[in-house]
Structure 1
Amino acid sequence: MAQLSQVAEPEDAPIPKGFRSAEIGWPRLGAIPHPPRRLPLVGDVLGANVRTPVQDSMRIGQALGPIFRRKAFGKEIVFVWGAGLAAELADESRFAKHVGLGVANLRPLAGDGLFTAYNHEPNWQLAHDVLAPGFSRDAMAGYHPLMLDVARQLTARWDEREAAGRSVDVPGDMTKLTLETISRTGFGHDFGSFERSRPHPFVTAMVGTLSYAQRRNVVPPALAPLLLRGATRRNTADMAYLNRTVDDVVAARRAAPGQGTGDLLDRMLEVAHPETGERLSAENIRRQVITFLVAGHETTSGALSFALHYLSRSPEVLARAQAEVDAIWGDVAEPAYEQVAKLRYLRRVLDESLRLWPTAPGFSRQARQDTTLGGTHPMREGAWALVLATLLHRDPEAWGERPETFDPDRFAPSAVRARTAHVFKPFGTGARACIGRQFALHEATLVLGLLLRRYDLHPDPGYRLRVAERLTLMPDGLTLRLSRRAGAA
């Protein structure tokens, strides 16, 4: 999320006030520090790493403090990570979501879908009101058996690898799991991911579009047609494939109505707004399906992968989590829906992993009216800043003197109560926070519980965590060895 330039929007999506401002609505940028050795015209490019802009910005932010700015090729971005400043930006009466940076680069694909819609676009509220009941408790309980079915496919694959003494590709298998989970629970579609030795073409195309959106933010706009010529052609092909895939899924449902038993696609096709009677258009349905298929599996797969990494490196935490699963789930073949939320310590493990590496690493906020941030920094209406969650989650003011240490007890109830609000934001904030967060947390906790009950995890001694960036974050090259636990079914 921490990228350095912007791209023009389609003509049918007018850019809100403040987005193109040379100073993005900050009258006194001089009061905000920036990296040393800024160069004329090109800005803060010395020492920048275009492949890891989030981690690059984390390094800069730790040196410059809780609010800083970066500039490249005439575009300047203000970053915020201090707990107090982030809490102000979370105030919905003063600030709203800002769609910019890499998120805006996804609009040619996702348009006014829930994640990429501008605040003034009416389809966001329409889709939110229509789809929100699809994430109710009753709806979640209905998804639970399908989640278990997909998890069985994962454990069957891991049993084969364990029996053969071979390591498992954690990010690759978590991606297969989460893609199948959202596609089957939400849209009644089976990609057959676990029957493939390589990623499904949908995943390849999705990674391509996310990576392209990232690259657009680190290439000077004037040079993009030259430097990204081949990448642009590939991105066009990737978007066309994603659109065709979704069109086929929707067409299959229209040809056999009632097959979804009230899932998300059924709601999109059949449910009108409860007050206005409006329905989603065919174009918006395509955009929403793409949004859920991409966002609904990419971030959860990253969260699971980071959690498995930290569990494998923390024997005491692993043993404690396994003991909890054994005690609460006992000998039942498969846990019931209500038993998942009882894994409170395992949920702390997941939250702590999301603290250290929130897979959606930042979010932007814009001023609803002229205001002042932190009593020092004036912002005009429409001015925006990027909240760098990866550093907010490491602010010593909120998390203590050793914020880099993995410690699930940071999320014990007493610790949560003692902490100030708005310092843990892995799903964004406010009205535009992730609509599927409870779905993701239930899925991830269920899968971790099933895996820990079945396996002991053994890390590669030579592996050091590397984080790949493609708008979202994912461990790079993470493999684990497995051994079946005594008595595991």
Structure 2
Amino acid sequence: MAETTNGTKPDGLPKGFRSAELGWPELRRLPRPPYRLPLLGDVVGASRHTPMQDSLRYARQLGPIFRRRAFGKEFVFVWGASLTADLADEGRFAKHVGLGVANLRPIAGDGLFTAYNHESNWQLAHDVLAPGFSREAMAGYHVMMLDVAGRLTDQWDRAQAAGRAVDVPGDMTKLTLETIARTGFGHDFGSFERARLHPFVTAMVGTLTYAQRLNTVPAPLAPWLLRGASRRNAADIAYLNRTVDDLVRARTAAGGDGEGDLLDRMLETAHPETGERLSPENVRRQVITFLVAGHETTSGALSFALHYLAQHPDVASRARDEVDRIWGDTQAPGYEQVARLRYLRRVLDESLRLWPTAPAFAREARRDTVLGGEHPMRRGAWALVLAGMLHRDPEVWGPDAERFDPDRFDAKAVRSRAPHTFKPFGTGARACIGRQFALHEATLVLGLLLRRYELRPDPDYRLRVTERLTLMPEGLRLRLDRRTSAGRPGGTPDRAAVAEDAASAPRCPVRGMGD
């Protein structure tokens, strides 16, 4: 097996360790599911379509640390709060790029999300791009977020007037794709003018689905079992690359006179200390990373939150009252007004607790160590933290941990909990760089929708979750009633007012920061 430049094999294990050992000397002591089959492993009662939800079910049976085997691969899962806190120690553990994340490297390479720890482009890109998510930069994105939200409500107004239900996951995907494309790269995919999702989304979903499928078949048989899927995946990757290359080429042809956005930073900004710049190939990988990661998880978070708001009208009413009180009749709420929606933010956090759209993250030992004072790990050994089960740990969240309750996130409750018990964005230095962007966007959009509509669920709908590395409600549709009784102007910014604000606002204040 080939080795990487830092003396590890491509699966992240140190030289000399067999993959089956995983660097866990006492692996056999860890509990595992019953009914293990030769060659196939722990597949009885499991589905290749829902590996994360199967792991949540096993976690309830087996406890805070356990193992699963599938097609000769052994995986260690952790969800106990104390063990997770140990894994969050940056001095002893680091991000592990494995499983489906490593399967995305053919498209994202050494982008921020998929880079191995030893690859220098991660630190370079992080240092160059971090100012693009500063408070000042976020305020510059706000007006564009409002404009995209206005396109969503235009579409929902038409559906409401026609008595049609809205496709929540599909529309949230359109919204978040347009938001990251506009704010980060000055591009408009025209998603709301299309009857179907943009081909970029179709190709992206294809690559995510294929990455997950690779984990559900025996590696030696994958070339045969996934032959057709592999060809489709290659075509999807080629389409994504062409789309991004065209976007970058257009910006370059403009002579660098861009919008001061993330793409400008990638193309024009040198590292403030080393003077290094991102290579053209890495720029492509970073753009794809942001377009995919920057909208896929946020669309899921919005969709789950809207599901819970529709299912809990008392919560929706309380959140709506907060929006009405803080925003009043203003047509276009300001950036600072979004941060004041503290209860609505609790709704979002509670949705992410129950269904973190990035459902797990992997951690590897930097050196030989002992996890939780009990489980020896050799350098390079890794474990997968089940965020969805960590967020349901009854020792942290109580015996009613499955119940939706936004007040779990009031300030007093948050202060009373131990650190590292809520991890929807990963942990440590490699945690999601765009988490504040996502939270601001999602809180803004939820506020606008609650102010404009009453949400009516399908009484026969039962939450089903689809998995494609990220999580998303499946088949979620809502009916809308336009709010009129409050005497408010409709609860979404007037498009002309937003355009006027945009014309008078400074350009996105990212250019030059940190140069």
Shorter-chain TM-score category? over 0.9
Aligned residue in 2 for 1:245: 243
Aligned residue in 2 for 1:278: 276
Q: Is the 8 A contact 1:188 1:259 kept in 2?
A: no
Match of 2:216, SS state, is coil
Q: CA RMSD in A?
A: 1.5
Aligned residue in 1 for 2:232: 234
Matches of 2:239 and 2:184, distance apart in 1:
20
Larger deviation, residues 281-290 vs 70-79:
70-79
Aligned residue in 1 for 2:258: 260
What's the TM-score once normalised by structure 1's chain length?
0.97
* Structure 1 residues 205 and 145: alpha-carbon distance in aligned structure 2, compared to 1, 3 A threshold: same
Q: Is the 8 A contact 2:24 2:377 kept in 1?
A: yes
| Per-residue deviation, residues 351-405 of structure 1 (Å, max 9, x unmatched) | 0000000000000000011011111110000000000001000000110111000
* CA deviation after TM superposition for structure 1 residue 26, in Å: 0.2
Q: Is the 8 A contact 2:329 2:488 kept in 1?
A: no
Q: Is the 8 A contact 1:364 1:385 kept in 2?
A: yes
* CA deviation after TM superposition for structure 1 residue 39, in Å: 1.9
* CA deviation after TM superposition for structure 1 residue 45, in Å: 1.5
Find 1:24's aligned residue among 22, 25, 33.
22
Percent sequence identity over aligned pairs: 77
Aligned residue in 1 for 2:289: 291
* CA deviation after TM superposition for structure 1 residue 40, in Å: 2.2
Matched, 1:76 2:86: no
Match of 2:113, SS state, is coil
* CA deviation after TM superposition for structure 1 residue 257, in Å: 3.3
| Per-residue deviation, residues 408-444 of structure 1 (Å, max 9, x unmatched) | 0000000000011101000000000000000000000
- Unaligned runs of at least 5 residues, structure 1: 1-6
Q: Is the 8 A contact 1:94 1:369 kept in 2?
A: yes
| Per-residue deviation, residues 222-278 of structure 1 (Å, max 9, x unmatched) | 111111000000000000000000000000000113443210000000000000000
Find 2:457's aligned residue among 435, 456, 459.
459
Matched, 1:191 2:197: no
Aligned residue in 1 for 2:391: 393
* CA deviation after TM superposition for structure 1 residue 191, in Å: 0.1
Aligned residue in 1 for 2:328: 330
What's the TM-score once normalised by structure 2's chain length?
0.92
Aligned residue in 2 for 1:476: 474
* CA deviation after TM superposition for structure 1 residue 87, in Å: 0.5
Aligned residue in 2 for 1:181: 179
Matches of 1:11 and 1:162, distance apart in 2:
57
Q: Is the 8 A contact 1:174 1:305 kept in 2?
A: yes
Match of 2:467, SS state, is strand
Match of 2:219, SS state, is coil
* CA deviation after TM superposition for structure 1 residue 31, in Å: 1.4
Matches of 2:408 and 2:18, distance apart in 1:
40
Partner amino acid, structure 2, of 1:400: G
Matched, 1:153 2:147: no
Matches of 1:398 and 1:420, distance apart in 2:
8
Matches of 2:237 and 2:116, distance apart in 1:
21
* Structure 1 residues 150 and 10: alpha-carbon distance in aligned structure 2, compared to 1, 3 A threshold: farther
Aligned residue in 1 for 2:306: 308
Q: Is the 8 A contact 1:110 1:116 kept in 2?
A: yes
Matches of 1:476 and 1:8, distance apart in 2:
40
Matches of 1:163 and 1:404, distance apart in 2:
36
Matches of 1:20 and 1:306, distance apart in 2:
40
Find 1:130's aligned residue among 128, 149, 152.
128
Q: Is the 8 A contact 1:31 1:377 kept in 2?
A: no
Q: Is the 8 A contact 1:9 1:104 kept in 2?
A: no
Q: How many residues align?
A: 483
Matched, 1:426 2:444: no
Matched, 1:45 2:43: yes
Matches of 1:210 and 1:145, distance apart in 2:
30
Match of 1:481, SS state, is strand
Match of 2:111, SS state, is coil
* Structure 1 residues 14 and 110: alpha-carbon distance in aligned structure 2, compared to 1, 3 A threshold: farther
Match of 1:222, SS state, is helix
| Per-residue deviation, residues 190-213 of structure 1 (Å, max 9, x unmatched) | 000000010000000000000000
Q: Is the 8 A contact 1:110 1:291 kept in 2?
A: yes
Find 2:214's aligned residue among 209, 216, 229.
216
* Structure 1 residues 20 and 350: alpha-carbon distance in aligned structure 2, compared to 1, 3 A threshold: farther
Aligned residue in 2 for 1:407: 405
Find 1:104's aligned residue among 98, 102, 106.
102
Matched, 1:321 2:311: no
* CA deviation after TM superposition for structure 1 residue 14, in Å: 5.6
Match of 1:312, SS state, is helix
Q: Is the 8 A contact 1:10 1:108 kept in 2?
A: no
Aligned residue in 2 for 1:3: none
- Unaligned runs of at least 5 residues, structure 2: 490-515
Matches of 1:34 and 1:390, distance apart in 2:
19
Aligned residue in 1 for 2:166: 168
Aligned residue in 2 for 1:384: 382
Match of 1:47, SS state, is coil
* CA deviation after TM superposition for structure 1 residue 119, in Å: 0.3
| Per-residue deviation, residues 444-484 of structure 1 (Å, max 9, x unmatched) | 00000000000000000000000000000000000000001
Matches of 2:107 and 2:347, distance apart in 1:
34
Aligned residue in 2 for 1:141: 139
Aligned residue in 2 for 1:4: none
